Amino acid sequence: IDDELSALHLVMCSMRTRRNRFSLIGRLPPEILYGLFPSGPTRTQIKLGWITITHVCSHWRQVALSGPTLWRTIIFHLGAEWAEEMLARSKS
């Protein structure tokens, strides 16, 4: 039963991805979609908006992770591992 549930879960994930591609925003080219994302946190107010963006759907996650804009401001209070990851993602 667990194997069948796992298989159904994979099918459902695939179907959700296909459904998302039919939405208007799901059909935007990555460079246009990326332009809609915020350019990163400001100095006075640190937000972790990239978490929200990367959890919308797999397409948004792929687009967000592929561009450097969200990662330009390195947030050190999350720890060295995250700081290093943000630095790598910023492509600096």
| CA R_g for the chain | 16
CA atoms within 13 A on the CB side of 37: 30
> Exposed/middle/buried for 63, CB within 10 Å: 0-12, 13-18, 19+?
buried
Q: Model confidence over 72-87: pLDDT tens digits?
A: 778 888 889 988 988 8
Q: Model confidence over 60-70: pLDDT tens digits?
A: 888 888 888 87
Rounded to an integer, what distance in angstroms lies between the CA atom of residue 56 and that of residue 58?
7
Rounded to an integer, what distance in angstroms lies between the CA atom of residue 38 and that of residue 90?
14
pTM (global) more than 0.75: no
Per-residue pLDDT, averaged over 35-52, amounts to 65
